[in-house]
Amino acid sequence: MAAITGGAAEIAHSCSICDQVVVNLDDRIQSCILGQLGELKKRAGAEQCELLQQYVSLTKAGPEVNVELRLGRYRNRKDDMRAFVAREGWDEDDEEQSHEVQVFRVYAPANDPSLKALPIQPPGLDIGSERAFEKARQWLKTCRNKHSGCRSSKGNPLPTRVIDVSGEKIHLIDTRAEGLKHEKYVTLSYCWGGPQPVTTTKATLDQHLQVLPAGEFPQTIKDAITVTRALKVNYLWVDAICIVQDDLEDKAVEISRMTDIYNFSYVTISASTASTCSDGFLQTRKLEKTPIRLRAEFSRNKKGSVLLVTDPASDEPIHKRGWTMQEHLLAPRLLIFGSLCMEFRCLGGNERDGGTTLPFNAQQSGMPAMEGRVASVLYTAKYGGVPDARRKSALKRNTFLYRTGLMSLALKITGEQNELEGVVIEQWASIVEAYTQRTLGFLDDRLNAISGIAKKMHRAELGEYLGGLFSYKLLPQLMWSRAEGQTPLPRPSHGYRAPSWSWASIDGQVTFRNRMWNSVKVTASLMEFNIQPMSEMKKYTEYVSGMVRISGDTTALKLVTDPATCELVVPQSHTDLSLTLDAQEFQDVSSLDVYLLQILHDSLEVRGLVLQDNSDGTFRRIGYCELPRYGDATAKLREGWLEKEFFDHLVSQLLLQRCIKLRLLILTTLFLGCYYLLVLLDSDKSLTSLRAEN
C-alpha cells in the first residue's frame, strides 16, 4: 500500500461498515463484533473499507470467523487509547495469535468535541512547517522558564568554533578570536553516512572563516540551519564544519570538550530519520496506511469522532550510530525530528507534536533505560544519582535533596550511601550495553565516542576511570562478556586501546552478566589498580598501560575444538560450565589450556574470568565463564577450586597488569610451604600477556 500524505483527519476513511461502530470514550474497555469475515467481505463497499482490508491483509482466518474490534485505555492512561481488530475472543498473551492482530492508536481530531474525553491528537506530519516550529519554540520557552531542574542556557560558554547563521552570508566563527564567550547556540546530532561533501580542513579553515559554501551543504545541514533560524538562535555547531578534520591535535582537543559542547548547548537537534547527511529531516511525514474515522460518544451522549491510526514501526537510523548516543544523553534539551512527528525531551519530561506521548520514564528507542528510573546522564552528573521518576513529584523531591546535599546526608544516616553509587554503576552498565549495539565508522573510536558520557558521570565516589570501567565496585564490573548473538570479532591488532579486562579491548556488543551490584558475594579481592592515559587531556580516550591486582581462587581447564564448528568449547565432562570467549582468535588450535579465575557468585552461579596460558609463563584475559553453584555436572570442577585452597593450602593471587611491554606474566612462588599464584596482566603497543614475579 502506498504511503499516505496529508493531515490524518483530512485523509481519514469512513464507510458503511465503519459507521456501524460507535466508540464510547467513557468506557475503559469495550468490544464490538463486526460480523463474520465472509459476510463482511460480501457487503457493499467492503473492498474500499480500510478497517476490513487492513485486517484481511494480515490474517489467515476463514470466512466463518467472527471479526472483533476491541478498544481500551492503555494502563488506564487518559491520553493513550488503543484499538485491535482480530478474530473474536483472541488472547492478548498468545504470541501466535498476535501476528494476526491489526493494532491502532486512537486519537481525537483537532477541534473535535471528543478531545475533552480523549486529549490526544494524531501526529503532526507537517514536521517542517511554521506551525511545528512555533510549537518547538513554546516547548523551549516552557522548559527555560518553568523547569527548575533544567540547565539555563544563559552564561554558557561557546565552543571553539560555531557557524553564524544570522545573516545571508553563512560563515564559521572562531569564538576566541572574535571575543565571543557567552551566547546561545544549537548543536546537531546526525548520521554522517560516509564522506562529507563539506568539511573544515587546514586548507579550508581560513576560507570558511570568511564564508561557507552553503549551497554545497548536504540537506541535513541545510535543514539544521532552517531549524536554528526558526528557533531564533544565531549560532549552530556541526562537527564536520566546526572541527578541523585533518588536524589530529584539534580533533583531540574538541573530542575532550564534547561533554561541554553538547551539555552547554541551548538545544540539540536530532535528525533521527536521516541515514546520511544528504537525506535531510524536514520532509512532511507519511502514514503507511489510511487512518479510519469512527463515531464516538462520551459524557451523556455527547457526540464526536475518533481516528484509528497505524503508527509506522520506528527504526530510526540515528539510534544505530555510536557517536549519537552521547550527543543525545548529554543534551539538556533534545528536539527530535522523528519518523512520525516532532518530539521534545528535557529533564522536566517529554513532549510530542501529536501521537501517543511516552510515559515520563519510558525507554526511548535505541537508548539505555532503567526500570522505574530516568536514565539521564545529566541528572546523574548534577545531583549524584538516578531518581525514582514513576511520579513527577518524586523527581522534584529528589532533585531538591540532591541539589541541597541533603540526599547524601540522609543516605549516610540510613547506611545506604553505597547503594547510590551502585545505582550509578548500574546505569553506566546500561549505557555501555546500549552503546555497543551501535556501529562506528572507525572501530578505534570505541572509547572516544562514549568519553563525553564517562566524563560527565565521573564523580569522586566512583573512583578512577579505567578505560571503560570505574574503580568503584570494579570486580563485579569485570563480569562483562560478548553479548548473546554477537558473532566473535577479531581482536584489534594495531595499537593499544584498553586493558584486556575492559570491554573496550574488543569490538562488538557486550553485556554485563551480573547486574545485582549490591547483592552478590564477591569472592576475589581487589588488591591494586592503575591506568596510564596517553596524556591528561586523553584520560577518557587513549591509554598506554593499565593494571589490576586481584586475589582469588583459580583452577586449570583444557578447552577442546568442536569439529563441527571449529570453535573452542568446554570438554563434555563439564557441560554445565558456560564459557564465552571475547574474540575470534583461536581458529588454528585443537585445544587450549586456560585458567578460570573466580570473581563472585550469586545464589545460583559462580562467575569468573578465563585466562590464557601462552606456554612461556604468560597469560591474558580471553573470556568469561560461569557455572552452577550446585549440581553433579560441575561438582568436580568446583571441588578442584576448594581442594586447592583448602587441602593444598594454595591461595591464588592474580596480578592483572598491562605495562609498556604489553605482557601478562605469571610465576609460581613457594613460600613457607604454601603456594601463591601471582598472575600479572600487562600491556604495551603490541602484545597482551600475564607475568608473575618472585
**Element spanning 133, H or E:** helix 130-146
Looking at the structure, do residues 473 and 552 belong to the same domain, yes or no? yes
Q: Which residue has the cell 486529549?
A: 119
The answer on 103 and 181 residing in a single domain is: no
Question: What is the sign, positive or negative, of the torsion defined by CA atoms of 610, 616, 617, 620?
Answer: negative
- The set of cell numbers assigned to 366 is 535505541
C-alpha cell at 107: 486519537
Instruction: Give the whole-angstrom CA distance, residue 344 versus residue 350.
Output: 6
Neighbours of 304 (CB within 10 A): 20
Cβ neighbours for 133, distance < 8 A, ≥ 6 positions apart: 227, 230, 231
In a domain, 429, yes or no: no
Task: Quote the crossing angle between the two packed helices 417-436 and 406-414, to the nearest 10°.
Answer: 110
- Are the beta carbons of 682 and 655 closer than 8 angstroms? no
- With b meaning 16 or more CB within 10 Å and e meaning fewer, what string describes 97-106? eeebbbebbb
Does the CA dihedral 594-597-602-604 come out positive or negative? positive
Distance from C-alpha of 306 to C-alpha of 115, rounded to nearest angstrom: 9
- Looking only at the bridges linking them, the beta strands covering 292-298 and 22-24 are parallel
> Is 431:456 a contact under the CB 8 Å cutoff?
no
- What span, in angstroms and rounded, lies between the C-alpha atoms of 553 and 655? 13
Fill in the amino acid letter for 68: E
Task: Annotate 556-600 with DSSP letters as a single string.
Answer: EEEEEEETTTTEEE--GGGTT-EEEESSB--TT-SEEEEEEEEEE
For 127, the grid coordinates are 514536521
Q: CA–CA separation, 327 vs 146, rounded Å?
A: 24
Give yes or no: residues 144 and 40 share one domain. no
Tens digit of each residue's pLDDT (9 = 90 or more) over 650-686: 233 343 433 322 233 222 222 222 333 333 333 333 3
Residue 529 CB neighbours (<10 A)? 20
In a domain, 341, yes or no: yes
| Cβ within 8 Å of residue 214, ≥6 positions away | 170, 222, 225
Q: What's residue 516's pLDDT? A: 65
Q: Please, are residues 546 and 575 in contact by the beta-carbon 8 Å criterion?
A: no
Given a cut of 50, the residues of the chain with pLDDT beneath it are: 1-5, 359-363, 370-375, 383-397, 399-404, 642-694
C-alpha cell at 246: 585533518
- Residues 6 or more apart whose CB falls under 8 angstroms from that of 14 comprise 292, 293, 294
Dihedral sign, Cα of residue 252, residue 256, residue 257, residue 261: positive
Please state the length of the chain. 694
CA 643 to chain centre: 44
Please indicate, yes or no, whether residues 93 and 188 belong to a single structural domain of this protein. no
β-pair partners for 682: 689
Element holding 305 (H helix, E strand): strand 302-309
Same domain membership, residue 184 and residue 103: no
Q: All 3 cell numbers of residue 280? A: 535531510
Per the rule left: phi > 0, alpha: psi between -120 and 50, beta: everything else, 687 is: beta
Residue 576, amino acid: D
By three-state DSSP, how is residue 676 classified? strand
Query: Do 611 and 646 belong together in one domain?
Result: yes
Q: Is residue 232 part of a domain?
A: yes
Residues 493 and 630 in one domain: yes
**3 state DSSP class of 262:** helix
Q: Which amino acid is at 286?
A: K
Amino acid at 25: L
Query: Using CA of residue 685, residue 686, residue 691, residue 694, what is the dihedral sign?
Result: negative
pLDDT in tens, 393-440: 444 445 444 444 555 555 555 555 566 667 778 888 888 998 999 999
Does any domain span residue 511? yes
Residue environment code for 535-556, b if the CB has 16+ CB neighbours within 10 A, otherwise e: eeebbbbbbbbbbbbbbbbbbe
pTM: 0.79
Q: Could you tell me if residue 431 is inside a domain?
A: no
| Amino acid 100: pLDDT | 87
pLDDT in tens, 523-546: 998 988 989 999 999 999 999 988
Number of structural domains the chain divides into: 3
Which DSSP helix (H) or strand (E) runs through 342?
strand 342-346
Residue 371 resides in a domain: no
Residues whose CB is less than 8 angstroms from the CB of residue 94 and which lie 6 or more positions away in sequence, other chains included: none
**What's the DSSP call for residue 386?**
-
- With respect to residue 523, please indicate whether it lies within any of the assigned structural domains: yes
Inside any domain, residue 130: no
Domain containing 326: what range? Answer: 135-282+317-352
| Claim to verify: residue 54 and residue 190 sit in the same structural domain | no
Do 492 and 613 belong together in one domain? yes
Look at residue 390 in the predicted model and tell me its pLDDT.
43
- In 10 A of CB 187, how many CB atoms? 29
Judge if 573 and 649 occupy the same domain: yes
Give the three cell numbers for residue 430.
Answer: 546500561
- Name the amino acid, one letter, at 626: E
Using alpha carbons, select from 632, 634, 635, 612 the residue that is nearest to residue 622: 612
Residue 188 cell numbers, joined: 546537531
pLDDT given for residue 244 in this prediction? 97
Dihedrals φ, ψ of 250, to 5°?
-65, -40
What is the pLDDT, as a whole number, of residue 547? Answer: 82
Q: What single-letter DSSP state applies at residue 59?
A: -
The answer on 197 and 59 residing in a single domain is no
Q: Which of 92, 42, 40, 99 is nearest to 65 (CA)?
A: 40
Q: Which amino acid is at 190?
A: Y
Whether residues 106 and 187 share a domain: the answer is no
Contact 331, 187 (CB under 8 A): yes
For the range 43-46, what are the long-range contacts, defined as Cβ-Cβ under 8 Å and sequence gap of 24 or more?
43/16, 43/17, 44/16, 45/15, 45/16, 45/17, 46/17
What CA–CA distance (Å, rounded) separates 291 from 234?
A: 40
> What backbone torsions phi and psi does residue 316 show, to the nearest 5 degrees?
-85, 130
